[in-house]
Amino acid sequence: MASKDTKFIFITGGVVSSLGKGLASAALGACLQARGYKVRLRKLDPYLNVDPGTMSPIQHGEVFVTDDGAETDLDLGHYERFTGVAARQGDNVTTGRIYSEVLAKERRGDYLGATVQVIPHVTDMIKEFIGSYAGEEDFMLCEIGGTVGDIESLPFLEAIRQFRNEVGAARSLFMHCTLLPYIPTAGELKTKPTQHSVKELLSVGIQPDILLCRADRDIPEGERRKIAQFCNVKPSRVIAGLDVDTIYRVPISYHNEGLDREVLSYFGLPYESEPDLSLWEEIAQRVREPEGTVRVGFVGKYVSLPDAYKSIIEALNHGGIANRVKVSLEWVDAEEVESTEDLAGMLGQYNALLVGPGFGVRGSEGKIRAARYARENKLPYLGICFGMQMAVIEAARNLVGLEGASSTEFGPCDNPVVGLMTEWSKGNRVERRDGKSDLGGTMRLGAYECVLQPGSQVREIYGKDMISERHRHRYEVNVNYREAFEKAGLRFSGMSPDGVLPEIVEYPDHPWFVGVQFHPELKSKPFDPHPLFTSFVKAALDQSRLV
């Protein structure tokens, strides 16, 4: 259970989804950090999947991976990018995982013959999760996924209601995010959706302490008082969540609206002094006033939903912040690259190409064509995970001369230069998988070390010999082909410490061509841009000056 000093902030949402609960949670965490407090953020997701690992990126967005190998909701990426606090397995839980653990305990007989019910068994498990490993933090911010009124959210809302009764109002705060729509024909913001949302929350026994109202304009004092009166909160605790030109202004915006002040006031903590938000001011200024623009073509298969690549988008923006330029990211459907007869017309307009992660054969030939175009035309190229594998297959076919070179992910082939991992080391244990393993949670997940080759481009980029990066994949480049590749000019510049698993490839005679098996985007932050993305954007900038 949590330390008696940790204070809990529960963030719920109503009216509609996509109100920005995750960003609000992350921004509030950043503001509290700026005041000297230790924070940790958690996400409670109501869906029945055990984790998002098997969910389509087009439905759910990207899967964010932690150092300890958890496949989590993309909001944990926001948490890390805004606070720098590395997320853990225990910072994301779903209804599926809660029920799995409850049923496992029932099968073991842990409930001593009791009838297993949502209350108390499921809610007790949720409360146990909320309070777990909360010892050093001053604030634990817990975001409840979904919207109030969803059937699947009810056990979580009941659990946080019970949690407040157990720890007391002095240690728990309910913050509710709602929508204040502006109706042009009426010429005013409408408060009724917020009133109904709070009424729905009250029906499950939760009275919000702070309302965060998303709006596209300031809330007039009359509407603020009306909301406060009908929703039983102080007028000063009706906070406007205003639209901003960059998400990295959100901490500044919420502080200006008084969010962190009202949180501290609620808990009886001093709030008179101003937090140091100069770091966020500098980041926002660089985003708003770039000194140039580079165009990056992103070749992917989930381009209909940019959230499928959320961390990559943000990491590119961080690289732009580091280089004081705007990264104009333009989506290129891998299947269109596969079928076009004018490849130069499609790809030659960009200053750099990025081929992202993905699964399955669809779009793979387009990604292979993109890698070849970048190699032959000396265009900066960053291949991430699947993007590295496609670059290796391209080299196998067109440089090494291996006919039928491919990945066993697509079926049997003559030269499996990329194949299914069946065994690898994780710390002091050996992980084993086969083609019949479950899809969920069976990949190489989490942080692994990589040794960088002396004199390589990536060794210069990172500035050290050993790195640790996060992984999420089942297939690996086959190390048995290493000698043939290196004779053809493709250098294996990063390897696992045991020398078995290729982690990075590069072309020494190319201005900037790097493929990585891991996901560097997961560790990039606006105030600490990842060195690979900083260098990649710099290469794109150099390329733009040649045109």
Known catalytic residues are: 385, 519, 521
Q: Phi/psi at 465 (nearest 5 deg)?
A: -90, -25
Closest CA to 318 of 255, 247, 261, 372: 247
Give the span between the Cα atoms of 299 and 222, in whole angstroms: 50
Contact 18, 12 (CB under 8 A): no
Task: Give the three-class secondary structure for 192.
Answer: helix
The residue count of the chain comes to 547
φ/ψ region of 150 (left if φ > 0, alpha if ψ in -120 to 50, else beta) reads: beta
Q: Phi/psi at 278 (nearest 5 deg)?
A: -60, -30
Task: Give the three-class secondary structure for 449.
Answer: strand
Locus of tokens 């949590």:
2
Give the span between the Cα atoms of 239 and 221, in whole angstroms: 12
CA triple 140-219-285, angle to 5 deg: 65
Q: List all residues 6 or more positions away from 143 whose beta carbon is below 8 Å from its beta carbon.
A: 11, 21, 22, 25, 41, 42, 43, 44, 75
Contact 238, 224 (CB under 8 A): yes
Locus of tokens 């294996």:
492
Q: Quick one: angle between helices 123-131 and 95-108, nearest 10?
A: 110
Report H helices in 73-210. 75-83, 95-108, 123-131, 154-167, 192-202
φ/ψ region of 497 (left if φ > 0, alpha if ψ in -120 to 50, else beta) reads: alpha
Give the span between the Cα atoms of 16 and 118, in whole angstroms: 26
39 DSSP β-pair partners: 139
Say how many C-beta atoms besides its own lie within 10 A of residue 531's C-beta: 19
Question: In this structure, what is the dihedral angle of CA atoms 244, 250, 252, 256, given to the nearest 10 degrees?
Answer: 70
What is the gyration radius of the CA atoms in the chain, in angstroms? Answer: 25
Give the span between the Cα atoms of 511 and 463, in whole angstroms: 18
